[in-house]
Each structure stands twice: as structure tokens, then as C-alpha cells.
Amino acid sequence: MDKKIWELTADEVLKKEESQRTGLSNAEVEKRTEKYGKNVLATKGKTTLLQKFIEQFKDLMIIVLLVAALISVFVGEGVDAIIILLVVVLNAIFGVFQESKAEEAIDALKGLAAPQAHVRRDGRVQTVKSEEIVPGDIVILEAGDIVPADLRLIESASMKMEEAALTGESVPVNKTINVIEEENPALGDRKNMAFMNSNVTFGRGEGVVTGTGMQTEVGRIADLINNAEETTTPLQQNLAKLSKTLTWLILAIAVIVFIVGMVRGQETIIDMLLTAISLAVAAIPEGLPAIVTITLALGTQRMAKRHAIIRKLPAVETLGSTEIIASDKTGTLTQNKMTVEKVFIDNQLLDSKDVTPDANHKLYDLMILNNDTKKIDSELVGDPTETALIAFNDEKDYTTDHVISQYPRVAEVPFDSERKLMSTVNKLTDGKYLLTVKGAPDELLKRTTSYVVNGEILPMDEAELRQIRDTNHELATQAIRVLGFAYQVSDEVPTVLESDVVEKDLIFAGLIGMIDPERVEVAQAVQEAHEAGIRTLMITGDHRDTAGAIAKRLGMITDAEIDTAVITGAELDQQTDAELAKNVEDYVVYARVAPEHKVRIVNAWQKKGKIVAMTGDGVNDAPSLKQADIGIAMGITGTEVSKGASDMVLADDNFATIVVAVEEGRKVFANIQKAIQYLLSANLGEVLTLFVMTMMGWQILAPVHILWINLVTDTFPAIALGLEPAEKNIMKQKPRGKKSSFLSGGVSSNIIYQGLLEGIITLFVYAMALRFPDHAGEAQIHADALTMAFATLGLIQLFHAFNSKSIHGSIFSATTLKNKFFNWSILVSFILLAMTIVVPGLNDLFHVSNLNLHQWTIVILSSISMIVIVEVVKLIQRSLKK
């Protein structure tokens, strides 16, 4: 009977998987990819184009139109029925196109945000997409990684994993490489296994892939549930609710009009039924949800090009209302490229440029040996602090490779965030062992009993401690990060590799001061955020002095504020949640904080009613990222756990990108507002026109007229408004706040007066055409009047699209014609509208007459008056606001 994977030794598993510790060759990976396929979970098949097309006909509005077509056939109006069906089909085709474009945008973003894994192939460590992993691959794991496939561990250094999603155990599990002899152990007891999608919370290790895709434990679960269906976003739900409410409201009005017409007895049942349907067609903004979706999707694509990858569509809209940005310092506000600036050695503080490393000073060897940096193709890979230490020695021609090979590491006590130290044991050439310790100077000094000066080891005293601590403080006030180094030489490797046993009676060797320079563009971005009414906070694990100094250099605080605006994690612990909520506006910089403090900070601001964006990159940042209104993960340094918990990922880890994303979010919101104002005011104008025509007993516009107007004016111009560039003052405005909606900021009142204005102008043209006809004959007069009303109602909406390019701003500016797609959409829409009147044959199909120059002049001037009147109203609104 074959042994289970967990019953085999590491070497036996490698043999079984036909692999080796140096990894597979690239050629072998290609073969196995063909055999096993991609390392992905099976998902439900995508909706086909035909299915999408059929879905378009399930909308209530479309059903109403199909009823209208049937009625037209019943009364002998076959041409009307054909036109209605043609418009319905065109709408359906365009709906499919919009849906496909939105899917493409979202799929592209999923690809950009695909998780990655570190594997060893051909003896080299490579970073690949998780989907490219195959059975037999050697995967390298570190704290913060998500396990990309099922693995049998072959190395483990204090590694712990969180497997709650699979086992239900909330406590991380200690991992080992030992054989498990228990028969059929539970999933949580297979401690030499690592399972796909579990999280590495501590330590590091390596494993050989034993299962990918649907052959993993997660894959077996996925096979049962086969992925939950995607739900619509809250934004889409709100818009659908708005559309549904409008639909039932207008249908109710249509029924009233039908009843009134029948009571008056001037029209037949069929005529009044068509009239009621015309009214419904005029009122319902059937294209609104699709237009909003595609505007959001295109916004996410633009953000991705600017290094902000949106993982959840609602985040686009929420970004625009962000009031607080709580940002990590390292890598986001700074370059995450540590550089050695100062060296404290032999009781002297020196500039790095004045130092020449040599073997006579233990400090330089300690910098190299107590270090997990790896060199891959001459590139340093690892923690920025550690790579800076190696880079410093390499640049000074003190060959790090030689030191590492000469004194190999034989044991270690990994870094722990609680004790803030890391230790290694390296074998010396004389057979003895060198214990190296690196970490926070305050913690290191607690464990030192002596120090070295010019090769002489002296007992530690108060004077020496004071000098070291003063030097540490002096460097910290200059925003310089300080690491202390100590060592000890012993005859054997410690039998118990624990801090209390190993890290004691140490010899202090020196301090290294490093700086992570602020990003050049961040100070300007902080200023832009301030002008936009957004408050920027710094959250860091660094010392209070270091954090305050960087904040001051970035313009976040002044010298006068440095004592009051900076708070530490220890000081936070002394405040209750209620006290923090009361005092939170006093603080700008949070220093020496733990991840759990971030959740408290977010909660405190949210209790103030603020919309908070929070950045994070570690496993423990996930709770605060989920708690924030916008969770922002780092794309380069961020763990897969933090990315999975986020709403947005910064592809460049740059704070300035957040401000860019906020601007894009504000633009998307503003453009959707413009489209909503345009669509609803246009539909209100159509409803008013038809309602008054019915009440006056006039000949009214038919369903085909309204359908055609909606097709040519609602589709292209509304989408084009979603592509408008940001208005120049968009980042000078205050955030709109949580309670705002697409109808706030004067949009609802604009919709009402502009809709009424469109209807009044159209009715005025109709009445004028009846009163002062250009042709004789009652039938011709009514045909001309109806045609002029049809042309005016269509054109007035096209001209009103220009008004809608800004809710309150004037369109008479140099940027009015900047949106080329908008210009073309207006031109195409105008041609499609005019064709129904001027092209012989088409005008017969649409029951309209050919207008003369005088009639066209009246139509065009009346339509243009919409621009003039609305711009005058906007001018008055701006004056009153000032």
C-alpha cells in the first residue's frame, strides 16, 4: 500500500515527485504544465454572447417595448413594429457590447493583481505567477506569503501557518518537516504539509509542490461549491433601485394618461395604449446602469495605467470622497531604499563616506553575517535594511561573498517583532562559533555586558551606555534609523536556540545609522491632498523622533506641532476608545505602533463620520485594511494577505499614486453625475412634452420617435460624458462626505428645471408651428408641427449634453472641445437624427415630413437656446455661491 505524502521523508517526496532541491528545469516545467494544466481553480463558464444578448430582453422596459410592437402589428402598423424591434435589437447589441467591455476591464485588473510566488528552478530563485506552478516545483515561503499550492515541507525555520479557512482553527499551526506516522491524521494535524491559500504568519521554509489547481485541498472544496456567483456592487444596486422606482412611477403616470384619454373619448383604445407606451418609453433611463458600469470599468483601467489597481468597483466611487489617508511611512512616503549614513564605531560617530571597512573591526562582519539578503543575478534581494548593509560593504570593496563563505551560518534565532532582535551562529575558521546579534539598540543594550574599542574588550558601564543612547537619540532626531550590533564567541553551538538562552552576556560592537529618503514627489502630493480637504496621517513602527522628523520634512507637521501631533503606540494604549475618538484630530503621526493600533485609529476617525483610506503591507495589516473604507495594499512589498484584504493595490508603493487615484475617483463620480443629470433631465423633458400634448388633445410623438431620440441621444453622448477629463478645480474642492449621492450638489434641482425647460421649448416650437404654418392643409400642418417637435426634442438634448459637461462650471472655456469622443458622438447622433427627416423613404418610415430652411432655423435656434438659458442659470448659481 502506497504511503501518503505526509508519511514520506523529504527525500522520498522529492523522489516521488521526480524533483530535487535545486528545483525543476524550465523545460521540465513546460512539460508538466502541458500534463497538469495551470494551477488555477475551475470556475463557472463565462456567459456566452448569445446568453448575454437574451438577458437584455428580460428588462421590464424591453418587455413594454415588445408589447408596443405587438400592438403595432395588431393595428396594421407593420413599419412601426419593425422600427421598434430594430431599436430594441440595437439596444440589446449595445448592451452586450457594454457588458463585454466592462468584463474585459475587470478581467484585465484581475490579471494585474494576480498573486505571485517564489520558486527555485535550475538552482535559481525566480518570482512567477502562482498559476504557473507545477507539481515538483520547489516553493520558497516567508512570513506574509500565501501558499500557492499544496506542498510537502522540506525545510522549516520556526514557520507557522494560519489555516482557519480549511481547518477552522484560529491559532496558527507550527510547521515541521518530520514524518507523520499517525494513520489518516486530520487536515490540521498534517504539520509537514502546507495547503493552498493558507497564510505564512511567521518564519520561513521551503516545500515541494504535491498538488495544484483542483488537485489541492482547496480545489476539492471548490469542486463542491464551484465559486459563488458574483454579486452586483452597492453602487449598481442603488442605480438599479433608482431605475426600478422610476419605471413603476412612469408606468403609473402612463396608466393615468391612458385613463384620462379614454374618459375624454377623443382617441381609440389602441391610440391611447400607444400613447401610454410612448410616455413610458420617454421616461425610463434604460441605459443608465450600463453607462455607469462602463464608466466605472474605464475608470479602473485608467487608474491601473497610473499604478493604482482597483480590486473592487465600488472603491472607485468611494475614493472620490476620501477625507483621511492613513499611510505607512516606509516604502510609501519614503523610497524603501535604505542607505547607510552614519557609523558609530570605537566610540566615534562617523559619516559613512569616511569609513573603510576592514576585518579588524567585528562590526563590518556582523553587518554581513547577521543578514538574510540574497544575491540573484547581481541584484540584492531581501529586506531593505539588510540589503543596505550588504550594499554599503560592497560599495566599499569589502567583499561580502568572501565573508559569508568563510564563516557559514549553522544556526539562527529569527527576528521577532516583540524582542526586536535577530541572531545567527556562524562557524569560524578556528573551529569556534561566532554569535551575531542585530536589532533595536535599546533592546540590545539590555543584553550586553561589555563593549569593544579598537580591538580591546571593556566592561560596559553607565558612561558608555549614556554615550551609546545619546548617539542613538541624536541619529533618531535626524530621521535616521539605527541598528545596534553585538557578538559573542563560544566553543560550541548553543543547544537551545531561544532568546533567553542565546542573547545574553554580549559584546557591543557599534551602531549603524541608515536613512530611507522620502520620495521626491510625496511632499507635493501631501500638499495637494491638503488643498483637496484630505488629511494625511503617518503610521509607522519607527521611533517617535524618526517619524516626527520625516513628517516635518514632508510638510505634514511644523516644528511647533512636533510635540503634540506625534503619538506613540504606548500612549495610545493608555487611552480608551472613547478618549481616542475625542482626541484623534490632534494627531498626525503615529509612531512605534503595532498593527492592532491601526484598527483603533480607523475606528476613531470613522466615529467622526470620516471616510478613511488606510495603507498596509503586512499580514497583520489585513484587519485594518478591511475596517477602512478604502484598504490600500502595497503591490511591491505587500504580502498576498494584505492584497487580498484590500480594495486597491499600489503597483508602485507610492503615496503620490493614492492622491492620483483620489483625483480619478472624484472624476469618475463627477462624470457619472453628469451622465445622470443629462439622462434624467432629457427623459423628464420627453415626459412633459408627451403629457402636455396628451392633455391638450394634440397629435403626439409616437413610440418610434421617442425610441429613436433615446437611441441616438442617450447612448453615445452619455457614455462620452463618462470620459470627460477632470475639471481643473476638482482637487481644490472639499470631499463630498458620506451622505452625498449622485443627486446631491444641486443635481436634483438641475434635473427638474432643465427637464421642464426642454419640455417647454419643445412644446413652444410645436405650438408655433401650428399657429404659424409654412404649408397649407391641416394634415401637412400637423405633420410639420410633429416633425419640428421631434427634431427639437432630439437636438435640444444634444445641445444640452454640452451644458452637462460641467454641473456648475461654464462650458465656454478652452477645454470644452477637448473630449474628442464626445465631439464625434454629438456629430454622429446629429446625423442619425437628421437622416430620419431629410433622407427620402426614412421620413416616411418615421411618419415625419421634410422641413424647409425656415423651419430648420426655428428648430436649431430654439434648441441652442437651451445652452444659453442653462449657462445663464449656472452663472447666477456661481454668483450666489460666492
- Point out the residues that are catalytic: 328
- The total of other beta-carbon atoms located within 10 Å of residue 181's CB is 8
453 three-state secondary structure: strand
Give the count of beta carbons closer than 10 Å to the beta carbon of residue 269: 11
Nearest to 203 by CA among 148, 153, 165, 168: 153
Q: How far apart are CA 833 and CA 835, in angstroms?
A: 6
Q: What is the DSSP secondary-structure string of 205-238? A: EEEEEEE-GGGSHHHHHHHHH--PPPPPPHHHHH
Tell me which amino acid residue 565 is.
A
Grid coordinates 529586506 are at which residue? Answer: 383
Contact yes or no for 35/212 (Cβ under 8 A): no
Strand partners, 507: 450, 487
Strands 566-568 and 589-591: parallel
Q: Are 236 and 288 in contact (CB under 8 A)?
A: no
**Cα dihedral sign, 687-688-689-693:** positive
DSSP state of 323: -
CA-to-CA distance for 30 and 33, rounded, in angstroms? Answer: 5
CA distance 276 to 282: 10
- Rounded CA-CA distance 372/375 in Å is 10
Beta bridge partner(s), residue 616: 633
State whether the Cα torsion 495-497-503-508 is positive or negative.
Answer: positive
Q: State residue 490 phi and psi, 5-degree precision.
A: -135, 165
94: left (phi over 0), alpha (psi -120 to 50) or beta: alpha
415-420-426-432 Cα dihedral, nearest 10 degrees: -140
CA-to-CA distance for 686 and 756, rounded, in angstroms? Answer: 9
Question: Which residue from 326, 331, 322, 325 is spatially nearest to 664, judged by alpha carbons?
Answer: 322
Phi, psi of 701 (to 5 degrees): -65, 140
Smallest CA-to-CA distance from 592 within 623, 551, 547 is with 547
Distance CA 539, CA 598 (A): 8
If you ran DSSP here, which 8-state letter would residue 7 be given? Answer: G
Q: Point out which residues pair with 194 in neighbouring strands.
A: 151
Task: List 537's β-bridge partners, or say none.
Answer: 326
Contact 753, 873 (CB under 8 A): yes
Place of cell 415625419: 848
Phi, psi of 569 (to 5 degrees): -60, -35
| 3-class DSSP assignment, residue 103 | helix
